């Protein structure tokens, strides 16, 4: 009988010990096992003999770990991003890498808008003031009228588009930058396209990031880019932490060069020190934008379906490294 292994992240396990959702999909067609690992240095011989592997976010599979896989036909990243897996190393060994690109579209878009709203309306400082039994609206200079603001989106894929439609409905003027979209995408959604990232940065009051993490986008937003933003701008990131240089954005917050940041994802997450966590006007939300009862069921069901296809010789969905 073929074997399918789920590798959950030991620091913050997201699945359940019995893998009930996956087991319902896979049934008796394969042996299903679950392990908790911190990195691929923790891979056991039993894991390395698996025919397919489902891996949760933040559990990296590097070239070294992939080289130890003996029978693996597919690695399924339980989520949208696949930067935690060395897809080139997997391709060299003939192992397909798949992801689940559509499971949390609504949740991540909702979360991005929630962060933007919390910043524009300063919900957390006002909540803290009220709970101190005070009534001073000290953050009044940061409170903004949405229809006077420009909402800038980087990356108009599934989630970026869903976010754009939500922001548009709230009255924001919405602009976007995405060099990989064909002409006319802006007309289909009814928003404004700008041709360069610098142009977007100088115009937007809210910057919302929705691009993958790769060699081109790592530190896409760093010191120079943050300097281009308006002093009253807010930054929202529900994409990948490494898209924003952590030291740069924390410095910008401490120095008051931007008005605030809502970061669901952070480079080298989680936050590492009390000093990082104390950055002013920072909202951090534990890489949880994807999370809902419904989205996790959908994600885990899709991953299990792909894993089952891999071990039964069926066509694979969502292959990201060209191995079919």
Residues acting as catalytic residues: 240, 269, 287
CA separation for the pair 317, 91 (Å, rounded): 16
Exposure letters 149-186 (e unless 16+ CB within 10 A, then b): bbbbbbbbbbbbbbbbbbbeebebbbbbbbeebeeeeb
CA separation for the pair 97, 72 (Å, rounded): 10
Q: Which of 55, 117, 51 is nearest to 83 (CA)?
A: 55
Q: Which of 217, 215, 279, 216 is nearest to 247 (CA)?
A: 279
Interacting residues of 24 by C-beta distance below 8 A, sequence separation 6+: 304
Write out 283-297 in H/E/C secondary structure.
Answer: EECCCCCCCCHHHHH
CA separation for the pair 324, 305 (Å, rounded): 16
Q: Which of 227, 278, 232 is nearest to 259 (CA)?
A: 232
Residue pair 46/33 in contact by the 8 Å Cβ criterion: yes
CA separation for the pair 61, 312 (Å, rounded): 23
Interacting residues of 30 by C-beta distance below 8 A, sequence separation 6+: 1, 2, 3, 4, 51, 52, 307, 308, 311, 312
Element (H, E) at 254: helix 246-254
Interacting residues of 222 by C-beta distance below 8 A, sequence separation 6+: 244, 245, 248
CA separation for the pair 195, 202 (Å, rounded): 13
């Amino acid at each position: 009988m073929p074997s399918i292994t789920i590798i959950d992240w030991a620091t913050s396990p997201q699945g359940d010990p019995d893998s009930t959702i996956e087991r319902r999909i896979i049934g008796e067609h394969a042996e299903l096992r679950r392990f908790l690992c911190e990195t691929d240095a923790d891979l056991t011989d039993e894991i390395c003999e698996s025919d397919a592997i489902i891996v949760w976010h933040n559990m990296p599979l590097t070239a070294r770990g992939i080289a130890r896989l003996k029978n693996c036909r597919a690695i399924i990243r339980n989520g949208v991003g696949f930067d935690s897996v060395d897809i080139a190393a997997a391709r060299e060994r003939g192992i397909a890498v798949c992801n689940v690109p559509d499971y949390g579209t609504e949740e991540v878009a909702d979360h991005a808008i929630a962060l933007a709203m919390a910043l524009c309306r300063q919900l957390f400082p006002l909540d803290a003031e009220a709970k101190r039994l005070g009534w001073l609206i000290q953050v009044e200079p940061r409170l903004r009228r949405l229809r006077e603001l420009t909402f800038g989106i980087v990356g108009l894929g599934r989630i970026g588009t869903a976010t754009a439609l939500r922001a548009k409905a709230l009255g924001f003027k919405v602009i976007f930058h995405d060099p990989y979209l064909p002409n006319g995408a802006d007309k289909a959604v009814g928003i404004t396209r700008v041709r360069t990232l610098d142009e977007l940065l100088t115009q937007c009051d809210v910057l919302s990031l929705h691009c993958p993490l790769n060699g081109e986008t790592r530190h896409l937003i760093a010191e120079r880019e943050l300097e281009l933003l308006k002093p009253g701008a807010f930054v929202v990131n529900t994409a990948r932490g490494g898209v924003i240089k952590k030291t740069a954005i924390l410095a910008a917050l401490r120095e008051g060069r931007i008005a605030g940041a809502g970061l669901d994802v952070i480079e080298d997450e989680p936050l590492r020190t009390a000093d990082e966590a104390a950055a002013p006007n920072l909202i951090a939300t534990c890489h949880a934008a994807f999370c809902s009862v419904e989205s996790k069921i959908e994600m885990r069901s899709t991953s299990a379906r792909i894993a089952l296809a891999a071990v039964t010789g069926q066509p694979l969905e969502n292959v990201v490294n060209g191995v079919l």
